[in-house]
Amino acid sequence: MRRRSGELTGSGHERPDPAPDPPPAAGEEGREAGTGRGESDVEEPRGGTMASLAREWVGIQQFPVATQTKLLEILSKLKDEKVNTLTILVMGKGGVGKSSTVNSILGERVANVSAFQSESIRPIMCSRTRAGFTLNVIDTPGIVEGGYVNEQALDFIKRFLLDKTIDVLLYVDRLDSYRVDNLDRQVVKAITDFLGRGIWERGVVVLTHAQLSPPDGLNYDDYLAKRSEALLKYVRLGAGIKKKEFKDKAIPVTLVENSGRCNTNEEGEKILPNGTTWIPNLVQTITDVTINGGKSITVDQKLIDGPNPNNRGKFFIPLILAFQFFVIGRMQGAIKKDVESESKPLWELRDLGLANRKF
């Protein structure tokens, strides 16, 4: 196993102790010892359909009553909007806390969490139902390792998503990473090249490791604002969205603390240093994006194949033909006329057979 590279170096932080995950859901113990992940109800690549694998969302009972009440309220609002199924795609760089976030949302250990670089590059989907509502969460492998976008991982993800409809994209990164660089841009570009710019109208930026003390005496909200601004700039650049358009359709940023050591309030709900109860807050943001965002994205073969290089520029062909016909045709006509009206020396007319025996 390789320890993840490039994390928190220079940030002044140590990688935290592996965060304890939520307890296993009923009936999941004993499967895949050591990984803490149930098998039978998790869709692996190209297996089964969403509906056939969905089972009762018992993990919700792991949350404190106050959180459960809020979550059920949010779900009923979705049902009022005639949304009965929600499919959430979780993507981002390696080791940022994607799988931990999936587990936190579901209140069950369904996805492998590892302090080390994952060996698996397979996405998984977990489906849960509650009061007629189906929640599908798709966990994907990190698409950046060792400084590059991992095309193979991306390929696995694409094939896994065939025929699935993505309602919300959670783009995960860490709150405690101070720097953004070209790699962030590349990851966003890779996602955009695949799913199209529209996916960002259904996007939420999720920042994990949110229980932190900001450096340099910054207060929490100022630090959060700075980190969000820096990351969102790279999201905009990577997605190729214009500044104004990006401002008008702001991508929400939400916070997550997956550690079992996350502080709690009097009601036992997990809270962040700024007082946010982050689980209901995340689910509320996901709901807002679902209701107010653009269209969901259905992944078909065309999206997977990407833009065909042979088709590139096809759009210009009629324009080029029209240009040839009108502009070049006219120019040729004018030149011909010019040539004809030009007074020519007799010897040239003789050569053209036009001299009428004048010599």
Ligand X SMILES: Nc1nc2c(ncn2[C@@H]2O[C@H](COP(=O)(O)OP(=O)(O)OP(=O)(O)O)[C@@H](O)[C@H]2O)c(=O)[nH]1
Instruction: Tell me the binding residues for GTP.
Output: 95-100, 114-119, 209, 257-258
d(CA 306, CA 318): 23
Residues 249, 197 contacting (CB under 8 angstroms): no
The only residue of 62, 114, 134, 276 in contact with ligand X, by rule CB under 6 A: 114
Q: Pseudo-torsion of CA 11, 109, 291, 72, nearest 10°? A: -120
The only residue of 36, 107, 123, 142 in contact with ligand X, by rule CB under 6 A: 142
The reply on whether position 19 binds ligand X by CB under 6 A is: yes
The only residue of 67, 127, 192, 259 in contact with ligand X, by rule CB under 6 A: 259
The reply on whether position 208 binds ligand X by CB under 6 A is: yes
Q: Are strands 148-149 and 144-145 parallel, antiparallel or unpaired?
A: antiparallel
Tell me the window of 96-104, 189-197, 232-240, 313-321 that interacts with ligand X (CB under 6 A). 96-104
d(CA 36, CA 31): 7
Q: How far is the CB of 96 from Mg ion (least distance, A)?
A: 9
Q: How far is the CB of 207 from Mg ion (least distance, A)?
A: 16
Q: Which does 136 bind (CB under 5 to 8 A by kind): ligand X, Mg ion, none?
A: none
Residue closer to ligand X, measured from CB, 98 or 185: 98
Tell me the window of 97-105, 215-223, 265-273, 311-319 that interacts with ligand X (CB under 6 A). 97-105
The reply on whether position 257 binds ligand X by CB under 6 A is: yes
The only residue of 67, 99, 127, 186 in contact with Mg ion, by rule CB under 5 A: 99
The reply on whether position 18 binds ligand X by CB under 6 A is: yes
Residue numbering of the annotated binding site for Mg(2+)? 99, 117
For residue 1, give both structure tokens: 């196993």
Q: How far is the CB of 254 from ligand X (least distance, A)?
A: 12
Q: How far is the CB of 180 from ligand X (least distance, A)?
A: 17
Radius of gyration of the chain (CA): 29
**DSSP code string of 128-191:** EEETTEEEEEEE---SEETTEE-HHHHHHHHHHHTT-EESEEEEEEETT-----HHHHHHHHHH
281 Cβ neighbours under 8 A, 6+ residues apart: 254, 255
Query: Which residue type sits at 185?
Result: R
Tell me the window of 74-82, 94-102, 127-135, 219-227 that interacts with Mg ion (CB under 5 A). 94-102
Task: Please count the residues of this chain forming the interface with ligand X, following the rule CB under 6 A.
Answer: 22
The reply on whether position 100 binds ligand X by CB under 6 A is: yes
Tell me the window of 64-72, 77-85, 93-101, 289-297 that interacts with ligand X (CB under 6 A). 93-101
Q: 151-161 and 182-195 are packed helices; what angle lies between their axes, rounded to 10 degrees?
A: 30
**DSSP code string of 14-74:** PPPPPPPPPPPPTT-TTSSTTTT---TTEE-TT-S-HHHH-EE-GGGGGS-HHHHHHHHHH
Place of tokens 């896994």: 160
Tell me the window of 11-19, 56-64, 215-223, 339-347 that interacts with ligand X (CB under 6 A). 11-19
Residue closer to Mg ion, measured from CB, 99 or 208: 99
Residue closer to Mg ion, measured from CB, 37 or 98: 98
Site string for Mg ion, 51-90 (x = CB under 5 A): ----------------------------------------
Residue numbering of the annotated binding site? 95-100, 114-119, 209, 257-258
Residue 256 has φ and ψ, to the nearest 5°, of: -140, 140
**DSSP code string of 318-350:** HHHHHHIIIIIHHHHHHHHHHHHHS---HHHHH
User: How large is the greatest C-alpha to C-alpha distance in the chain, in angstroms?
Assistant: 117
d(CA 356, CA 359): 8
| Alpha carbon distances (Å) from 32 to 36, 109, 115 | 7, 11, 18
Binding site for Mg ion (CB under 5 A): 98-99
Binding site for ligand X (CB under 6 A): 16, 18-19, 94-100, 113-115, 118, 141-142, 208-209, 256-259
